[in-house]
Structure 1
């Protein structure tokens, strides 16, 4: 059982409980999956379960649980539709209005580690340049964060690159894909939030310095909810 949460496009949190029942022959066969959430209807949970099973078919013969959880965090907002007459914990209902895709988007990614730091950083810089994304690659001790802003379509493209390309090396020095990245938060850019004009690499000497950078960009809520728990 894995419990996770996803920051919805309305600013609320959706808490999910994902249960994977692994047969003896796993991963050569699909796991049994069940989904539950107090914020979602049964129909929505079933829809998410069906989508997860579709994704699982793409990972036969290889461990897939981590990939399925990451996929859920990245795609829940795209597959959940709430009727116009309903609300979610007092917030506006979720919507897949295409106008959202046109609004500036902000996403915060947490990386577990970088073994080949120089190569990894150069790769991230190239991706953000190619996709016209702005933001920060932030280092504070062992904490590594990537804050991206830009068109939602290009941010989705970045996440695909982050997941599918060999950007780091494993403990044996062999090139490997990023398996430990997690999306902490994704949301539209509000009027009180600053839109970065460039993508920068920043090293911080203290938590206070990191917090001040978030606050100066109007992202103090994101820092409090998603960054502070990492320390």
Structure 2
């Protein structure tokens, strides 16, 4: 790293496939195929993100084919209950289908009806850790990157966030040395830093073993670090 943590703008894709509210179902599928994208931002105006259409939004159209409606109404006696206060007609297969939010999308034919809104987005200046937490909480694979007024600037995917683990071992080692040296240089002057496949091993003499959790946390915060281990002389530090 050079002076700070990586941010979304360092790894995001700037050229993005996007659609308008009026895009048709087949147009959306075709664009996903052409761009090899699992989700597309939906824009209005001059490029403000108002939603996202994902493969999950499209699948109910295919899944509903297995629902064979009972046109005779023979199911109504069992499915309608006095407690619910619904009449027998409202419990038909068609009514139940249209009343079920996820399956209701099976009838949608435009991006405006299919999209999930509001869109979960991220700013370009967010750290990769912040973007990863947003993805995890929202359970999405891609995030539109927007400016302070919601205009589309790019897109960041799970794969983009994992690029930090492609950093070379020596580059990681140099940053770990810099971070540890700038935070607490005196006690760590005799600590060696070795990295192999992203695993940092801190050796030598730490002096104060109470610093082990602090040192581990600092080293683990360096992007690209997979794990932190200790091999300290005459000190039972174990593995962080």
* TM-score normalised according to structure 1 size: 0.25
Larger Rg: 2
Normalized per residue, which structure has more helix?
Answer: 2
* TM-score normalised according to structure 2 size: 0.24
Normalized per residue, which structure has more strand?
Answer: 1
